[in-house]
Structure 1
Amino acid sequence: MKCCSAIQKIVLMASDSKPQRLRQWASFQSSAAKKTRTMTTQSSLKDAFSSYADDLNHLNDKREKVVKASRDITANSKKVIFQVHRISKSNKEEVLEKAHKDLAAVVDQYVARLVKELRGSDFWKLRRAYSPGIQEYVEAATLCRFCKSGTLLNLEEMNASLSSLSDPSHKPLQINILDYILGLADLTGELMRLAIGRISDGELEYAQKICTFVREIHRELTLLVPRMDEPYDMKTKMETMLQSVMKIENACFGVHVRKSEYNPLLGSGDPSYPLMGVAGGIDL
């Protein structure tokens, strides 16, 4: 009986210990699974963060190169604008030919490098980085077109001239309408300076032509800007544009007034030239 009772105790102890071992084993398996899942999650997060950091560094490097290309476009486009301001009656053809050659060099060297740096990326992500250079290029290209033919270089023509720079396997660089309009706003300031210079050289008709052209641009943009999604950059430029229009109008009007009041008192070789309203001159 004692033996049976002892065996029964051993069996009971064994039976009691088996579920406990099973629970311990299940608990161990569960903790191991959780640990494995935690390690896997941490590893995936680490890989994702590393990949994101690499992409961000790559984007920052590309941004720096794009900014450098944009600055080169800006500097060389300004040189084209300065070249155009040398225009006069005697050297118009020569100056415009040199300006168009310089503008073509801007496209072939600096805009082409910008297109190369932007290859394979979303243009809108880096637009703020290259927008100043594109605006300056628009300003120079439209100024050359106006001085050559008296017309406006539109956005479609400008983008068509840049399409050959892009690899056919990638999306071509296209100047967006906002950068084009911002460039046109800056164009009016250069046309104002050009008009003042032409007035000083006696080309009043050319200055009046510039005045009509600038006034038309201002009128069209006044109707367009309120419909734009991002009109903030245009507010100051619209005010500056209006000032340019008024300066050209005032300069042309002043010349007309002075011309109507002008009475040449000296320089006549005719001794009978009426002086101060006295016929026959003055007897000395």
Structure 2
Amino acid sequence: MGLKRSHAEMSGRSKQDAPADQAQSPYMPMFEAFRAELDEHHARREDIIKASRDITAASKKIIFTLQRIRKLKEPLPAHVVKTNADHYNIIEERFKTVAKHLQGINAYRYARQISGGCQEWMEAVSFQHYLVTGQLLSYEDSRVTLLDVSKDEEGKSINLGPEDWVLGIYDMTGELMRFSITAMATHGLPTIPADNASDPASDSMDVDGRDGSSGQQRSVLTDMRLLRAALEGLDAGSGPFAKDAEKKMDVMRSSVEKVEKSLYGLIVRGAERPKGWMPDTNEGGRAVEVEG
């Protein structure tokens, strides 16, 4: 393959014969500034995408470890805390690395690039919060937590958008489904111990001002139904968020249906099943794949 020739050589001129005023063009500095700005933009974008992927991977590992828990409203076991500590450190380091890139207008410019990591982080921390407290992690508490986790040496941090909080809660219902079905194999449907033993509904989940108190023992299923009702009443408007919410809505409904169907099988036909039986979530219903 021959050497690539310059435009001047192809036109029969040497580089020395090029017009002397070419380098003095008034437009060159302007376009050089544009080039530098675009290079900086692509570098920032790649850094944020890489950080988001690392945060997503670490959050998934946290969720995987949390799924080993079998009881609600109890402190995390020591082995779970120890295992997840390294993953949380990775998440904190990645958030701090890109916090400087997500300030001012750039927070909106690169919102789609960091959104995946924020949603997966939200799914992990809300799932852990529910396992420990039996409560839904509020948006304000989530936002403050991320501000603290992502604060770098210059005091810059990342603000959690309401959209990422909502989409993370959608995904968290899938983890509640997995937790419930796994626990049903040995302990039955997981219930939430009440703070006041004389009033089982005194400690029910607060979703949008509704505590879901109905006088019955709280369980993961009752909380999932309450979440479903609240999320179905959400007006997502239009745009990318509305499309994402619509997709996750179908998955969320499927998760609730799977727990309902598994509980039905446990109560109605459980006595006929052998010890260690796992509920079959593939019998009937809509074949909707639950996000990991």
Q: TM-score normalized by structure 1?
A: 0.69
> Does the alignment pair 1:123 with 2:107?
yes
**In the alignment, what sits opposite 2:245?**
234
1:199 aligned to 174, 179, 184, which one?
A: 184
In structure 1, runs of 5+ residues without a counterpart are 1-38, 265-284
Provide structure 2 residue ranges, at least 5 long, that are not aligned to the other structure: 1-20, 193-217, 274-292
Q: Secondary structure at the match of 1:204?
A: coil
Comparing 230-239 with 97-106, greater Cα deviation is found at 97-106
**AA paired with 2:220?**
I
Q: Structure 2 vs 1, CA of residues 163 and 263 (structure 1 numbering), >3 Å: closer, same or farther? A: closer
Structure 1 residues 95 and 252, CA, compared in 2 at 3 Å: closer, same or farther?
A: farther
Residue 142 of structure 1: which of 90, 107, 126 is its match?
Answer: 126
The answer to whether 1:75 aligns with 2:75 is no
Identity over the aligned pairs, expressed in percent? 31
Flag as ranges the 4+ runs of structure 1 deviating above 4 A: 89-92, 167-171
Counterparts of residues 1-284 of structure 1 (less than 5 Å): 43-88=25-70, 93-94=77-78, 96-98=80-82, 101-102=85-86, 104-118=88-102, 122-164=106-148, 165-166=150-151, 172-206=157-191, 209-227=219-237, 230-258=241-269, 262=271
CA contact 2:173–2:224 (8 Å) conserved in 1: yes
1:161 deviates by: 1.8
Length, aligned pairs only: 223
Aligned residue for 2:77, secondary structure, equals: helix
Contact map agreement 2:59 2:124 (CA 8 A) in 1 = yes
Distance in 2 between residues matched to 1:59 and 1:146, nearest whole Å: 38
Q: Tell me the TM-score normalized by structure 2.
A: 0.67
- Which range is displaced more, 152-161 or 164-173? 164-173
Q: Is the 8 A contact 2:146 2:158 kept in 1?
A: yes
- Taking a change above 3 Å as real, the CA distance of residues 263 and 232 of structure 1, as seen in their structure-2 partners, is closer
> For each residue in 1:47-84, what CA deviation from the matched residue of structure 2 results, as whole angstroms up to 9, or x when unmatched?
22221121111010111111111111011101100001
**DSSP-derived class of the 2:52 partner:** helix
1:83–1:95 CA contact under 8 A, matched in 2 = no
CA distance in structure 2 between the partners assigned to 1:254 and 1:210 by the alignment: 17
* Residue 98 of structure 1: how far off its partner (Å): 3.7
CA deviation map 1:105-159 (0-9, x unaligned): 2443222223244357611111111111111100000010011111111221122
Distance 1:168 1:94 in 2: 30
Letter in 2 for 1:148: V
Counterpart of 2:94 in 1: which secondary structure?
helix
Structure-1 separation of matches of 2:154 and 2:272: 69
Contact 1:80 1:102 in 2 (8 A): no
Counterpart position of 1:272: none
Q: 1:237 to 1:263 in 2, by over 3 A?
A: closer
Corresponding residue of 2:284: none
Q: Secondary structure at the match of 2:269?
A: helix
In structure 2, the CA distance between the partners of 1:132 and 1:122, relative to structure 1 (3 Å rule), is: same
